[in-house]
Amino acid sequence: MAIQALNINKRFGDFTALDDVTVDIPSGSLVALLGPSGGGKSTLLRVIAGLETADSGTVLINGEDATRLTPQRRNVGFVFQHYAAFKHLNVFRNVAFGLEIRKRPKAEIKNRVTELLELVHLEAFADRLPAQLSGGQRQRMALARALAVEPTVLLLDEPFGALDAQVRKELRTWLRRLHDEMHVTTVFVTHDQEEAMEVADQIVVMAAGKVEQVGSPDELYEQPANDFVMSFLGPVTRLNGKLVRPHDLEILDEPTAGSVEATVVRVVRIGFEVRIDLEIDGQEAWVQVTREVARRLRPAPGDHLNIRASEHAIATAGAPV
C-alpha cells in the first residue's frame, strides 16, 4: 500500500469534516476521491499531504508513519485547484523550485526541467510568467513542478475545477496518459463523476465526512452500495420505491407481471436519446429511450404506458426491483 489513512477524524469547530475515515491507496494506482462539495475529500487529501492535521488517526506513506511529519518531509507532490503558481518566477524557475531547494547542480536541474516541460508540452513557454499562460497551461506547469522532485505520491485537489469544460476534458485524458507512462501513485479529488469514471482505476465515494463505497468505476456503477452512490454516479429514477436507471426501464405493449401503469407527462428529445417524463401513482419518474423506440411508440402527453424494470437492471446492492 502506498498510502494508508487510518481512522482519520477532523472537525472544524462544529463541523465534522472527516468521521472515522479509512482509505487504502494501492501503489501505482490512480484513485479518485469523489463526492459532493463539503464531503471531506479535499480535507482528506490535505491531511495526507500534511497541509492539515487530523484530530486523530494515522497516515502511513509507504508503510512509514507520516502523521507527525511536516509537508516538507513527506515527499508528496501537491497540485492545487487554483494552481498556486509562483507568480514572480517564470515557468522554468517554477518547475525548478523543488530541485533548487534541494541544491541540485545546475546542469541536472536544467536537464530535468527541460525533460518535464517537454512532457507537459510547455517547452516553448519556459521564459514566460504564469500570468502569461492560460489556465490549462498553468495547471500543466503545476503538475510538472510537482513531478520534478519525484514524489512518492501525487495529490491533486480538484485540478481541473477552475478550467473550461473543453480544457477539462482534454486534461483529463492527458492525466490518464501521463499516469500510464509514469506510474506514480496518484490521488485526485473531484465532484465530477464523469471525470472520476473516465480517469480513475479506483474510486472512493465520500459524503458528509464518511466513505460510502470504494471500488472500480464498473463496480460502483453496477453494484452501488446504497441509494446515494447510485444517484451520484448516474441518472436515477424511482420505480416501486426503488432506485433504478432510466435506461433500464422497458416499455411493454401489454401489462405484464411486474409492470406498472404510467402516464406520459412530457416528451423531450435530448441529442439522440429521448426522455419521457412520467407520472406513476402520483410520483414523478422518467424513462430514457432511443429515438428508434420513441419513433415506434410515438408517446404523447396523456398516453398510458406499461413500465417495468428490465431483468438486467442495476439496483442498489441486495435490493430486488
Q: Is 184 in the site for other proteins (CB under 8 A)?
A: no
Site for other proteins, residues 143 to 162, rule: CB under 8 A: 145-146, 148-149
Amino acid at 20: D
Could you say which of 35, 39, 40, 98 contacts other proteins (CB under 8 A)? Answer: 98
Q: Which stretch binds other proteins (CB under 8 A): 19-27, 56-64, 75-83, 105-113?
A: 75-83
Which phi and psi angles does 288 have, rounded to 5°? -115, 125
Of 61, 50, 125, nearest to 94 (Cα)? 125
Could you say which of 1, 101, 252, 317 contacts other proteins (CB under 8 A)? Answer: 101
Nearer to other proteins, 154 or 236 (CB): 154
Could you say which of 43, 78, 112, 206 contacts other proteins (CB under 8 A)? Answer: 78
d(CA 264, CA 303): 5
Supply the minimum distance, in Å, between the C-beta of residue 109 and other proteins: 13
Given a contact cutoff of 8 angstroms between Cβ atoms, the answer to whether 33 and 189 are in contact is yes
Q: Which stretch binds other proteins (CB under 8 A): 7-15, 86-94, 215-223, 248-256?
A: 86-94
Could you say which of 86, 128, 231, 250 contacts other proteins (CB under 8 A)? Answer: 86
DSSP state at residue 284: E
Torsion of CA 136, 138, 143, 144, to 10 degrees: 120
Could you say which of 68, 88, 177, 296 contacts other proteins (CB under 8 A)? Answer: 88
d(CA 234, CA 298): 26
Q: Is 106 in the site for other proteins (CB under 8 A)?
A: no
| SS3 assignment, position 12 | strand
d(CA 286, CA 113): 53
Say which residue the cell 509514469 belongs to: 182
Supply the minimum distance, in Å, between the C-beta of residue 99 and other proteins: 9
Site for other proteins, residues 55 to 74, rule: CB under 8 A: 70-72, 74
- Alpha helix (H) ranges present in the chain? 41-49, 71-74, 91-101, 106-119, 135-148, 165-182, 193-199, 217-222, 227-233, 291-297
d(CA 55, CA 307): 51
Sheet holding 56-61, edge to edge: 15-25, 3-12, 56-61, 64-65
Q: Is 113 in the site for other proteins (CB under 8 A)?
A: no
- The count of chain residues that interact with other proteins, using the rule CB under 8 A, is 27
Supply the minimum distance, in Å, between the C-beta of residue 73 and other proteins: 8
d(CA 133, CA 117): 14
Nearer to other proteins, 88 or 295 (CB): 88
Q: Is 37 in the site for other proteins (CB under 8 A)?
A: no
Nearer to other proteins, 45 or 220 (CB): 45
Nearer to other proteins, 98 or 246 (CB): 98
Q: Is 10 in the site for other proteins (CB under 8 A)?
A: no
Could you say which of 2, 3, 18, 76 contacts other proteins (CB under 8 A)? Answer: 76
Q: Which stretch binds other proteins (CB under 8 A): 84-92, 206-214, 246-254, 281-289?
A: 84-92
Given a contact cutoff of 8 angstroms between Cβ atoms, the answer to whether 202 and 26 are in contact is yes
Nearer to other proteins, 17 or 211 (CB): 17
Residues near other proteins (CB under 8 A): 49-51, 70-72, 74-78, 80, 82, 84-88, 97-98, 101-102, 142, 145-146, 148-149
